[in-house]
Protein backbone atom coordinates (compact mmCIF):
# COMPACT_ATOMS: atom_id res chain seq x y z
CA UNK A 1 0.00 0.00 0.00
CA UNK A 2 1.44 3.36 -1.06
CA UNK A 3 1.33 6.31 1.31
CA UNK A 4 -1.17 9.10 0.84
CA UNK A 5 0.12 12.63 0.21
CA UNK A 6 0.43 14.87 3.25
CA UNK A 7 -2.88 16.66 2.64
CA UNK A 8 -6.60 16.12 2.95
CA UNK A 9 -7.66 13.59 0.31
CA UNK A 10 -10.99 12.77 -1.29
CA UNK A 11 -11.40 9.03 -1.84
CA UNK A 12 -13.55 8.20 -4.86
CA UNK A 13 -16.18 6.04 -3.19
CA UNK A 14 -18.69 3.95 -5.11
CA UNK A 15 -19.61 1.70 -2.19
CA UNK A 16 -18.23 -1.31 -4.08
CA UNK A 17 -15.79 -3.76 -2.45
CA UNK A 18 -12.70 -2.03 -3.95
CA UNK A 19 -13.44 1.45 -2.58
CA UNK A 20 -14.84 0.10 0.71
CA UNK A 21 -11.73 -2.04 1.19
CA UNK A 22 -9.42 0.91 0.48
CA UNK A 23 -11.40 3.15 2.85
CA UNK A 24 -11.08 0.48 5.55
CA UNK A 25 -7.32 0.40 4.99
CA UNK A 26 -7.04 4.20 5.15
CA UNK A 27 -9.14 4.79 8.28
CA UNK A 28 -7.28 7.16 10.53
CA UNK A 29 -5.87 9.18 7.61
CA UNK A 30 -7.21 12.62 6.66
CA UNK A 31 -9.70 11.38 4.06
CA UNK A 32 -13.21 12.20 2.92
CA UNK A 33 -15.36 9.76 0.94
CA UNK A 34 -16.69 11.24 -2.31
CA UNK A 35 -19.73 9.57 -3.90
CA UNK A 36 -20.81 10.57 -7.42
CA UNK A 37 -24.36 9.56 -8.38
CA UNK A 38 -24.28 8.69 -12.10
CA UNK A 39 -28.06 8.24 -12.38
CA UNK A 40 -27.45 5.51 -14.98
CA UNK A 41 -29.73 2.94 -13.39
CA UNK A 42 -33.36 2.87 -12.34
CA UNK A 43 -34.65 4.91 -9.41
CA UNK A 44 -35.03 1.86 -7.14
CA UNK A 45 -31.47 0.70 -7.83
CA UNK A 46 -30.13 4.22 -7.22
CA UNK A 47 -31.93 4.42 -3.86
CA UNK A 48 -30.53 1.04 -2.77
CA UNK A 49 -27.03 2.01 -3.83
CA UNK A 50 -27.22 5.35 -2.05
CA UNK A 51 -28.45 3.70 1.15
CA UNK A 52 -25.62 1.16 1.01
CA UNK A 53 -23.02 3.90 0.44
CA UNK A 54 -24.31 5.89 3.44
CA UNK A 55 -24.36 2.74 5.61
CA UNK A 56 -20.78 1.83 4.58
CA UNK A 57 -19.49 5.33 5.37
CA UNK A 58 -21.22 5.25 8.76
CA UNK A 59 -19.75 1.82 9.55
CA UNK A 60 -16.29 2.99 8.49
CA UNK A 61 -16.57 6.15 10.57
CA UNK A 62 -15.37 8.33 7.67
CA UNK A 63 -17.18 11.51 6.52
CA UNK A 64 -19.09 11.22 3.23
CA UNK A 65 -19.84 13.94 0.68
CA UNK A 66 -22.02 13.45 -2.40
CA UNK A 67 -22.65 14.96 -5.81
CA UNK A 68 -24.71 14.23 -8.92
CA UNK A 69 -23.49 14.26 -12.49
CA UNK A 70 -24.61 13.81 -16.05
CA UNK A 71 -22.45 11.32 -17.91
CA UNK A 72 -21.16 11.73 -21.44
CA UNK A 73 -21.69 9.05 -24.08
CA UNK A 74 -19.94 5.71 -23.66
CA UNK A 75 -17.61 4.36 -20.99
CA UNK A 76 -14.97 7.05 -21.60
CA UNK A 77 -17.55 9.84 -21.35
CA UNK A 78 -18.87 8.49 -18.05
CA UNK A 79 -15.34 8.23 -16.65
CA UNK A 80 -14.45 11.80 -17.66
CA UNK A 81 -17.67 13.18 -16.17
CA UNK A 82 -17.05 11.30 -12.94
CA UNK A 83 -13.53 12.67 -12.56
CA UNK A 84 -14.69 16.23 -13.25
CA UNK A 85 -17.37 15.85 -10.57
CA UNK A 86 -14.89 14.38 -8.08
CA UNK A 87 -12.38 17.18 -8.70
CA UNK A 88 -15.09 19.77 -8.10
CA UNK A 89 -16.18 17.94 -4.95
CA UNK A 90 -12.58 17.79 -3.69
CA UNK A 91 -12.07 21.53 -4.17
CA UNK A 92 -15.39 22.31 -2.50
CA UNK A 93 -14.42 20.35 0.64
CA UNK A 94 -10.80 21.49 0.90
CA UNK A 95 -9.11 18.38 -0.50
CA UNK A 96 -5.85 18.78 -2.44
CA UNK A 97 -5.88 15.24 -3.89
CA UNK A 98 -8.27 12.58 -5.18
CA UNK A 99 -7.53 8.93 -4.40
CA UNK A 100 -8.83 6.06 -6.54
CA UNK A 101 -9.14 2.42 -5.52
CA UNK A 102 -7.41 1.08 -8.63
CA UNK A 103 -5.50 -2.15 -8.07
CA UNK A 104 -2.84 -4.16 -9.89
CA UNK A 105 -5.67 -6.07 -11.58
CA UNK A 106 -7.14 -2.80 -12.90
CA UNK A 107 -3.70 -1.83 -14.15
CA UNK A 108 -3.26 -5.09 -16.06
CA UNK A 109 -6.70 -4.69 -17.63
CA UNK A 110 -5.89 -1.12 -18.69
CA UNK A 111 -2.63 -2.22 -20.33
CA UNK A 112 -4.43 -4.88 -22.39
CA UNK A 113 -7.10 -2.36 -23.43
CA UNK A 114 -4.40 0.12 -24.47
CA UNK A 115 -2.61 -2.58 -26.49
CA UNK A 116 -5.83 -3.41 -28.29
CA UNK A 117 -6.19 0.27 -29.24
CA UNK A 118 -2.64 0.54 -30.60
CA UNK A 119 -0.79 2.34 -27.84
CA UNK A 120 2.79 3.46 -27.35
CA UNK A 121 4.90 3.98 -24.24
CA UNK A 122 2.43 6.32 -22.59
CA UNK A 123 -0.39 3.80 -22.78
CA UNK A 124 1.82 0.95 -21.60
CA UNK A 125 2.98 3.00 -18.62
CA UNK A 126 -0.51 3.90 -17.41
CA UNK A 127 -2.04 4.20 -14.94
CA UNK A 128 0.64 5.60 -12.62
CA UNK A 129 0.56 5.76 -8.79
CA UNK A 130 0.36 9.56 -8.89
CA UNK A 131 -0.24 12.22 -11.52
CA UNK A 132 -1.64 15.74 -11.82
CA UNK A 133 -4.79 16.09 -13.95
CA UNK A 134 -6.55 19.44 -14.44
CA UNK A 135 -4.58 20.91 -11.56
CA UNK A 136 -5.63 18.16 -9.13
CA UNK A 137 -3.29 15.52 -7.70
CA UNK A 138 -4.67 12.05 -8.42
CA UNK A 139 -3.23 9.13 -6.44
CA UNK A 140 -3.77 5.38 -6.52
CA UNK A 141 -2.60 4.04 -3.14
CA UNK A 142 -3.55 0.41 -3.90
CA UNK A 143 -1.98 0.15 -7.36
CA UNK A 144 0.49 -2.47 -6.10
CA UNK A 145 -2.26 -4.45 -4.34
CA UNK A 146 -4.40 -7.23 -5.76
CA UNK A 147 -8.15 -6.76 -5.99
CA UNK A 148 -8.70 -9.75 -3.68
CA UNK A 149 -6.79 -7.98 -0.88
CA UNK A 150 -9.15 -4.98 -0.96
CA UNK A 151 -12.16 -7.28 -1.09
CA UNK A 152 -10.86 -9.04 2.01
CA UNK A 153 -10.48 -5.68 3.79
CA UNK A 154 -14.11 -4.84 2.89
CA UNK A 155 -15.56 -7.87 4.67
CA UNK A 156 -17.92 -6.95 7.45
CA UNK A 157 -18.94 -3.65 5.85
CA UNK A 158 -21.98 -2.97 3.64
CA UNK A 159 -20.98 -3.06 -0.04
CA UNK A 160 -22.73 -2.27 -3.30
CA UNK A 161 -22.88 -5.22 -5.70
CA UNK A 162 -22.73 -3.70 -9.20
CA UNK A 163 -24.29 -6.35 -11.43
CA UNK A 164 -23.18 -4.47 -14.57
CA UNK A 165 -19.62 -5.68 -13.88
CA UNK A 166 -20.83 -9.18 -14.79
CA UNK A 167 -22.31 -8.10 -18.12
CA UNK A 168 -20.06 -8.64 -21.14
CA UNK A 169 -21.16 -5.62 -23.16
CA UNK A 170 -18.25 -3.43 -21.99
CA UNK A 171 -14.76 -4.18 -23.30
CA UNK A 172 -13.21 -4.23 -19.81
CA UNK A 173 -15.80 -6.72 -18.54
CA UNK A 174 -15.13 -9.05 -21.50
CA UNK A 175 -11.40 -8.75 -20.96
CA UNK A 176 -11.77 -9.52 -17.24
CA UNK A 177 -14.06 -12.51 -17.77
CA UNK A 178 -12.52 -14.03 -20.91
CA UNK A 179 -9.10 -12.73 -21.94
CA UNK A 180 -7.25 -12.68 -18.61
CA UNK A 181 -8.28 -16.27 -17.72
CA UNK A 182 -7.30 -17.35 -21.25
CA UNK A 183 -3.85 -15.73 -20.86
CA UNK A 184 -3.37 -17.49 -17.53
CA UNK A 185 -4.15 -20.81 -19.19
CA UNK A 186 -1.86 -20.03 -22.13
CA UNK A 187 1.11 -18.79 -20.08
CA UNK A 188 0.66 -21.16 -17.17
CA UNK A 189 0.93 -18.33 -14.63
CA UNK A 190 -0.91 -15.27 -13.39
CA UNK A 191 -0.66 -12.58 -16.13
CA UNK A 192 -1.29 -9.62 -13.79
CA UNK A 193 2.24 -9.36 -12.28
CA UNK A 194 3.77 -9.82 -15.75
CA UNK A 195 1.70 -7.01 -17.24
CA UNK A 196 2.41 -4.71 -14.29
CA UNK A 197 6.15 -5.37 -14.71
CA UNK A 198 5.80 -4.36 -18.37
CA UNK A 199 4.09 -1.13 -17.26
CA UNK A 200 6.90 -0.35 -14.81
CA UNK A 201 9.52 -0.90 -17.52
CA UNK A 202 7.62 1.28 -20.00
CA UNK A 203 7.29 4.07 -17.42
CA UNK A 204 11.02 3.96 -16.69
CA UNK A 205 11.86 4.02 -20.42
CA UNK A 206 9.49 6.88 -21.10
CA UNK A 207 10.93 9.02 -18.28
CA UNK A 208 14.47 8.36 -19.53
CA UNK A 209 13.60 9.28 -23.11
CA UNK A 210 11.76 12.42 -22.08
CA UNK A 211 14.69 13.55 -19.91
CA UNK A 212 17.02 13.12 -22.90
CA UNK A 213 14.55 14.93 -25.13
CA UNK A 214 14.45 17.84 -22.69
CA UNK A 215 18.24 18.15 -22.90
CA UNK A 216 17.98 18.32 -26.70
CA UNK A 217 15.17 20.87 -26.69
CA UNK A 218 16.27 23.96 -28.61
CA UNK A 219 15.17 27.38 -27.49
CA UNK A 220 12.87 29.27 -29.86
CA UNK A 221 10.10 31.81 -29.42
CA UNK A 222 7.66 30.97 -32.20
CA UNK A 223 9.10 27.87 -33.88
CA UNK A 224 10.73 24.68 -32.74
CA UNK A 225 13.82 23.79 -34.77
CA UNK A 226 15.07 20.23 -34.33
CA UNK A 227 18.51 19.43 -35.74
CA UNK A 228 19.53 15.78 -35.99
CA UNK A 229 21.46 14.25 -38.93
CA UNK A 230 19.95 10.81 -38.26
CA UNK A 231 16.62 10.72 -36.45
CA UNK A 232 16.99 8.88 -33.13
CA UNK A 233 14.30 7.57 -30.83
CA UNK A 234 14.75 10.48 -28.43
CA UNK A 235 14.42 12.79 -31.43
CA UNK A 236 11.11 11.14 -32.31
CA UNK A 237 9.88 11.60 -28.75
CA UNK A 238 10.74 15.29 -28.82
CA UNK A 239 9.03 15.79 -32.17
CA UNK A 240 5.95 13.97 -30.95
CA UNK A 241 5.81 16.07 -27.80
CA UNK A 242 5.64 19.16 -30.00
CA UNK A 243 3.68 17.99 -33.02
CA UNK A 244 1.30 15.27 -31.90
CA UNK A 245 0.64 16.28 -28.32
CA UNK A 246 -2.39 18.39 -29.17
CA UNK A 247 -4.41 15.47 -30.51
CA UNK A 248 -4.28 13.47 -27.27
CA UNK A 249 -1.60 11.28 -25.68
CA UNK A 250 1.57 12.00 -27.66
CA UNK A 251 3.11 8.53 -27.56
CA UNK A 252 0.63 6.65 -29.72
CA UNK A 253 1.13 4.12 -32.48
CA UNK A 254 -0.63 6.44 -34.94
CA UNK A 255 1.68 9.36 -34.19
CA UNK A 256 4.83 7.22 -34.31
CA UNK A 257 3.78 5.75 -37.64
CA UNK A 258 3.05 9.16 -39.14
CA UNK A 259 6.37 10.66 -38.06
CA UNK A 260 8.45 7.66 -39.15
CA UNK A 261 6.73 7.69 -42.54
CA UNK A 262 7.39 11.41 -42.88
CA UNK A 263 11.09 11.09 -42.01
CA UNK A 264 11.60 8.03 -44.22
CA UNK A 265 10.09 9.83 -47.21
CA UNK A 266 12.57 12.70 -46.85
CA UNK A 267 9.95 15.33 -47.63
CA UNK A 268 12.44 18.15 -48.09
CA UNK A 269 10.72 21.37 -49.09
CA UNK A 270 7.22 19.84 -48.93
CA UNK A 271 4.89 20.50 -46.04
CA UNK A 272 3.15 17.68 -44.21
CA UNK A 273 0.09 17.96 -41.98
CA UNK A 274 0.84 16.15 -38.71
CA UNK A 275 -1.64 14.15 -36.59
CA UNK A 276 -1.55 17.08 -34.16
CA UNK A 277 -2.63 19.57 -36.84
CA UNK A 278 0.77 21.25 -37.20
CA UNK A 279 2.91 21.58 -40.32
CA UNK A 280 6.23 19.75 -40.64
CA UNK A 281 8.85 20.13 -43.32
CA UNK A 282 12.56 19.31 -43.78
CA UNK A 283 14.96 21.98 -44.90
CA UNK A 284 18.63 21.98 -45.78
CA UNK A 285 20.90 20.16 -43.40
CA UNK A 286 18.16 17.63 -42.57
CA UNK A 287 16.50 20.17 -40.30
CA UNK A 288 12.93 19.39 -39.34
CA UNK A 289 10.90 22.55 -38.81
CA UNK A 290 7.56 22.49 -37.04
CA UNK A 291 5.15 25.40 -37.22
CA UNK A 292 2.98 25.57 -34.09
CA UNK A 293 -0.76 25.95 -34.39
CA UNK A 294 -1.99 29.52 -34.14
CA UNK A 295 -4.39 29.75 -31.19
Nearest Cα residue to 69 out of 55, 57, 83, 56: 83
Q: How many CB atoms lie within 10 A of CB 44?
A: 8
How much is the pLDDT for 251?
46
- 279 CB-contact burial (10 Å; exposed 0-12 / middle 13-18 / buried 19+): middle
How much is the pLDDT for 222?
31
**Phi, psi at 184, each rounded to 5°:** -65, -40
Mean pLDDT in consecutive groups of 10 residues from the start of the chain, 295 residues: 87 95 94 85 78 94 90 69 91 95 95 83 84 90 95 94 70 88 90 90 78 55 40 52 47 58 63 68 62 48
- Helix or strand or coil: residue 169? coil
Return d(Cα 88, Cα 254) in angstroms, integer: 33
What's the predicted TM-score (pTM) here? Answer: 0.71
Return d(Cα 216, Cα 45) in angstroms, integer: 56
How much is the pLDDT for 221?
31
How much is the pLDDT for 290?
64
Return d(Cα 35, Cα 15) in angstroms, integer: 8
Return d(Cα 14, Cα 66) in angstroms, integer: 10
How much is the pLDDT for 293?
44
- 103 CB-contact burial (10 Å; exposed 0-12 / middle 13-18 / buried 19+): buried
Mention every residue, 6+ apart, whose C-beta is less than 8 A from residue 97: 4, 5, 7, 8, 9, 10, 90, 136, 137, 138, 139
How much is the pLDDT for 30?
93
Amino acid sequence: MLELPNCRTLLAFSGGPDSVGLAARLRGADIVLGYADHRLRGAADVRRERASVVAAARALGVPLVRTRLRCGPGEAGARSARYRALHALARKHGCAAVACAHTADDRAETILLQLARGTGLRGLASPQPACVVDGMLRVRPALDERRSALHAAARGFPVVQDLTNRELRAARARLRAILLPALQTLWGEDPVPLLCALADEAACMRKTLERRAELQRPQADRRTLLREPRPTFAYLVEALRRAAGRCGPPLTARAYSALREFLAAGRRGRRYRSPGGEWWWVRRGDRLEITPLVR
